Amino acid sequence: MAFLELKNVSKSYRSNGTVTPVLRDINLSIEQGEFVAIVGYSGSGKTTLISLIGGLIRPDTGAVTLDGVQITGPSPDSGIVFQNYSLLPWLTTYENVYLAVDQVFRDWSPAQKQAQAEKYIATVNLTPARDKRPAELSGGMRQRVSVARALSTQPRILLLDEPLSALDALTRATLQDEIARIWDQEKRTVVLITNDVDEGILLADRIIPLTHGPDATLGPAVPVDLPRPRERKAINHDPRFKHTRHQIMDFLLGAGVQNRKTVTRKLHLPDIEPEDLSYGRPSPLSQIRRGPLRSKEFKKESVEIDI
């Protein structure tokens, strides 16, 4: 039996009587120490999938088991890194990490907990920003704090929910290298959710495409047999990289193209214009406060829609 198993998992959301199926027939087994990337379109239910594995939501049918035990709720066994960092803004880097350590290792001495928090802040190279609050950190640094927090509880499985998609390309590359390095050090089981195929190939042992939602399911897994450590520049020219990439792209595009078409629609723009409320403006007339201005504007735009 595999370390992490999802069997016949499906999930739909209900609101106001309508049922939206999100995921169906999800079967997935991941071995201990494996790095798996799940690649899919945005809106295909990737976050739902990671929430199911993390125990934040329960599946409608099927079961999620970790090491043979069914997951019924969030637990310290899985560490989640959210796309939007989810740091508490009133706590410093250290305090954010310490809160997690303190919660999970209750019987440790304060000195042990402190050492644990410091160790993982150092792991993500953030010791200089130890006492800064999230607002004072860049996006990349915040995501590192989030990674440090997830690692510091020594979870048996690390779930990364599009951790790098909100970052600029350069920061993303740096953090990808860092995730590879940390994975190499810690040898944890990792599930990475991403919409970037190259990112998956660079990091993962196995890539599994998720078909286009709603009602998405997993496609055939594509193993990545590139040797580690993988050099970003080198693998770009590696024929195995190109082959893997094609396999995944073909599947994703094939699955996507069938039920998409382009239409031209009239877009109603928000019918207000922002108002400058600052004091001390030059024209005395503009000092009079008015309601929001109406803009009455339409825009024609081509959009892709699901049919």
Partner 1 sequence: MTKNRYNIDWVVLPLLGGLAMIGIWALWSSLPGTNLPSPLKTWEASKLYILEPFAKRGELDQGILRFTWYSLVLVAKGYLLAIVIGTPLGLLLGISAMFTKSFDPIIQILRPVSPLAWLPLGLVLFQKSEPAALFTIAVCSMWPTVLNTAVGVRSVPQDYLNVARVLKLSQTKTLFKVLIPATMPYMFTGFRLSLGIAWLVIVAAEMLTGVPGVGGFLWQEYNSLIYEHIILCILTIGFVGFILDRLMSLVESRFKTI
Report the distance separating Cα 9 and Cα 228, nearest Å. Answer: 32
Comparing CB distances to partner 1, the nearer of 2 and 57 is: 57
And the tokens for 43? 């809106």
By the rule CB under 8 A, 56 interacts with partner 1 = yes
Q: Which stretch binds partner 1 (CB under 8 A): 22-30, 83-91, 193-201, 251-259?
A: 83-91
And the tokens for 233? 């520049």
By the rule CB under 8 A, 80 interacts with partner 1 = yes
Which of 100, 175, 192, 252: binder of partner 1 (CB under 8 A)?
100
Task: Starting at the earlier edge strand, list the strands of the sheet with 4-15.
Answer: 18-30, 4-15, 61-66, 69-70
Q: Which stretch binds partner 1 (CB under 8 A): 4-12, 99-107, 198-206, 226-234?
A: 99-107
DSSP string, 140-204: HHHHHHHHHHHHHT--SEEEEESTTTTS-HHHHHHHHHHHHHHHHHH--EEEEEES-HHHHHHH-
By the rule CB under 8 A, 201 interacts with partner 1 = no
By the rule CB under 8 A, 166 interacts with partner 1 = no
Least spacing, CB of residue 250 vs partner 1, in Å: 35
By the rule CB under 8 A, 75 interacts with partner 1 = yes
Which of 17, 274, 280, 291: binder of partner 1 (CB under 8 A)?
280
Beta bridge partners of 268: 298
By the rule CB under 8 A, 206 interacts with partner 1 = no
Contacts of 95 by beta carbon, 8 Å cutoff, 6+ apart: 88
**Chain centroid, CA 253 distance in Å:** 21
Least spacing, CB of residue 150 vs partner 1, in Å: 9
By the rule CB under 8 A, 72 interacts with partner 1 = no
Nearest 5°: CA angle at 257, between 206 and 6? 35
Which of 13, 29, 65, 99: binder of partner 1 (CB under 8 A)?
99
By the rule CB under 8 A, 165 interacts with partner 1 = no
Total residues contacting partner 1 by CB under 8 A comes to: 22
By the rule CB under 8 A, 104 interacts with partner 1 = yes
Comparing CB distances to partner 1, the nearer of 104 and 147 is: 104
Task: Starting at the earlier edge strand, list the strands of the sheet with 206-210.
Answer: 78-81, 157-161, 189-194, 35-40, 206-210, 222-223
By the rule CB under 8 A, 82 interacts with partner 1 = yes
Least spacing, CB of residue 108 vs partner 1, in Å: 15
Which of 1, 19, 111, 135: binder of partner 1 (CB under 8 A)?
135
Query: H helices within the chain, ranges in order?
Result: 46-54, 93-104, 110-123, 139-152, 169-186, 197-203, 232-235, 239-257
Structure letter (DSSP) for residue 118: H
CB 208 within 8 A of CB 222: yes
By the rule CB under 8 A, 89 interacts with partner 1 = yes
By the rule CB under 8 A, 76 interacts with partner 1 = yes
Least spacing, CB of residue 192 vs partner 1, in Å: 17
And the tokens for 148? 């440090």
Interacting residues toward partner 1 by CB under 8 A: 54, 56, 74-76, 79-80, 82, 84, 86-90, 99-100, 103-104, 133, 135, 153, 280
